[in-house]
Every structure is written in C-alpha cells, then in structure tokens.
Amino acid sequence: MSEPSHAGAILTIDLGAIAANYRLLREMVPGAECACVVKADAYGLGMDRVAPALAAAGCRTFFVAQTGEGIALRNRLPEATIHVLNGLAGADPRDFTDHNLVPVLNNLAEIEAWARFCRERGTAFATDIHADTAMSRLGLTGQDVALLAAEPGLAKGISVSHVMSHLACAEEQDNPLNGRQLAAFGGALAALPPALSGKASLANSSAIFLGSDYHFDMVRAGAALYGIAPVAGQPNPMAQVVSLQGKILQVREIDTPQTVGYGATHRAARKEKIATVAVGYADGYLRSLSNSGGGYIGGIRAPVVGRVSMDLTTLDVSSVPDDQARPGALVELIGPHNPIDQVAADAGTIAYEILTSLGSRYHRVYTGGGG
C-alpha cells in the first residue's frame, strides 16, 4: 500500500458502510442466518480488514472460494464458521480439518473421498453438499443426486451441514429460471436420503430480494455487502462502499487536429483542455473505459478521451475551472457522482469485475469499523 504522496490514486473503503449493508440484509431474512462471502480478498477490498468488520457487526459464518483463502481467514477469525465453495479441489482433506474448514462437496468423487477420510478418522467431519440446479458449473447433477438416493452408502460417515445451490439470474426478478431453480432445489432436497440432509441455502445477495421462499435456513450475502446493486433496473438500496480518486499529473491545451493517446482514437474537434491522471489498466481502471468512462471534479463530469493506458488515463476537463483542474488535484473516478455500477456500465462489464480488479498501487484508506 503506497504512501499518499507516492501513489497515483487514493482508494477509500468504508467498513462502516459494509457493516450497514450487512445489517440491512440480515434484517430482510429474519428466519434465516445471513452469512457473508469474502472470497477474492473480499471482492478486492481486503479480507483482513473487511471480515473482522463483518464479524464485529454480528456475522458468524463466512464463505470463501479456495482453501488458501479459508486458512488465511481462519488465522484472522479463529471462532468463525468458514465454508470453502470450491470443495476439496485436490487438496488433502487434513487441510480442512486442521483449520476447521467446511468444504462444499461438488461431485460424487469428492463425496466418496470425504466419506472415506471421515471413516478412516472415525469422525463425521462437517461438510456441505452442492446440488447444481441450472448453472452447469460445479455441483451434483440430478443423476448424481438420484444415485446418492439409491446408494446412500457412498456417503457413509459424512455429516452434512448444508445442502446448497446457486441461482443463475437472481438479479433479474422476472426471470422464469429463478422459479425453475427453486423447484429443482426443492426436488434435490426431497431426493437426498435422510443421512445426507442438512440445512438448506440457495440465496445469494440478489436472491434475498426475491422473497422468503428463497431464503431457507441460510443466505449467502456477497456483492450487495460491497455496494453493488442487487436488483437490475431498480434503485440501489445499498450504501456505497468504495471511492477512487485519481491524481492529476499534468494539464495541457490541444486543438484540432491534435490527437490523444495510443492509436490516436480521440481527435480534438475544438480547443480542449486535457488532464492526465495517474491511473491505468495496471491499477484495474479497465482499458474498456477508453472513450467511454469519466471522472468528476467539483461535481462536473470530465469524460475519458483516448485510450486508457497501463499507468495513465486522459480526461477532457474543458468544462472544469482551471483552479480545480490542476496538477495535484484529485478526480473522482468511483464515488458518489460515479457509483461502481455506473463505472461498470461504462466499461461494458459488471461491478464485480471492477471491484476485484482494483490494483495494489493505490493508497488505501479504511474508514468506519475501526478505520
């Protein structure tokens, strides 16, 4: 993490806003536990800082993707329940039991391997079972579930904590696939033998907003914790978490027919004032924001002109007063005027990618939740 004077930009992460988002989501599921997903370094915002803030707000159960993430989180939160979504993934089962991690078993081979390990150790270690209901990624197929129902001995020795699945289109509330997946999940729960029954978990952040039919025993809050809009096409009820301010390095005037940046993709049609900002795609400010993104100075939008390069981005600050658009001044690239979902739309992607791409060269500032 760079010193403020050394960095090209300041990334501010509001832990208090993350905690507030958690409390809002938890209040929406009064009959279920609200777990938190902190995979990918808490969506790029720093698991070491985010997870303790969520624990302080009352969260007791966390999800990560990889075993290494689970071990790192265990070192930070010794009392938490930690589930690993990618399952065994070829790891030694002792990596899970030594660090008190709960693997999400995604196929029959993993179930048999875990069951064999439990029998050898004489202990029914906790695990989850993932039933695929439409994603066609990880998880047991319908045929796998039927085989387990017919041959429950394949999983002898297992103690199931949760049976879970994952919705493909939860942010689209009118998408009929949501209802079909809900029905398929209910069918999987009914088909599994009693020895493999556990609590049920289907809902991610967006599915929380689909209503209580989707909540079951536990929801898994992820993107909404970090300020991403949970429902497409509706106002975002979540508090904004991230602010990114880039430092202006230089301001110059150009006029037609001068061009800006690699490939000369922007040509001045008139006299323009161009500010060069010390943020580029090496910092996670995506190249797809070239000629489409924008920043704000004093509430005035300054569009990105030319291509975003590795270390630099150029903006047209012709509408910004000279005393504000000057070397050393900061441009809001993500923030109140330019929320993360808008930046993602400008980049032709989703806010998840923007967050998880944020680089390591920023000076990071954590506010709220201990700051």
Q: How confident is the model at residue 1 (pLDDT cuts 50, 70, 90)?
A: low
Average the pLDDT over 170-176 and give the result. 97
pLDDT of res. 2: 59
Question: pLDDT (tens digit, 9 = 90+) per residue, 322-360?
Answer: 999 999 999 999 999 999 999 999 999 999 999 999 999
**Domain of residue 281, CATH code:** 2.40.37.10
Q: Which residues are catalytic?
A: 39, 262
**DSSP class per residue in 125-175:** -EEEEEBPSS--SSSB-HHHHHHHHH-GGGGTT-EEEEEE---SSTTSTT-
Average pLDDT over residues 158-164: 96
Whether 63 has a pLDDT exceeding 50, the answer reads: yes
Q: Please check whether residues 295 and 211 belong to one and the same domain.
A: no
Structure-block tokens of residue 146: 């039927």
The reported pLDDT for the residue numbered 195 is: 84
Mean predicted lDDT score pLDDT of the chain: 96
pLDDT at residue 3 is higher than 80: no
Is 4 part of a structural domain of the chain? no
User: Mean pLDDT throughout 119-135?
Assistant: 96
Determine the Cα angle at 63 with ends 11 and 239, to 5°. 40
- Tens of pLDDT, residue by residue over 202-259, are 999 999 999 999 999 999 999 999 999 999 999 999 999 999 999 999 999 999 999 9
Q: Do residue 213 and residue 260 come from a single domain?
A: no
The residues facing 367 across adjacent strands are 14
Cβ-contact 133, 185 below 8 angstroms = yes
The count of structural domains within the chain is: 2
Q: Are residues 222 and 261 in the same domain?
A: no
Instruction: Compute the average pLDDT of residues 358-369.
Output: 93
The 10s digit of each residue's pLDDT in 264-279 is 999 999 999 999 999 9
Q: What pLDDT sits at residue 6?
A: 86
Tokens of 215: 């909540």
Residues 118, 193: one domain? yes
pLDDT of 371 > 50? The answer is: no
Task: Give the domain range for residue 40.
Answer: 15-226
pLDDT of residue 370: 54
Residue 246 lies in a domain: yes
Task: Say whether both 330 and 205 belong to one domain.
Answer: no
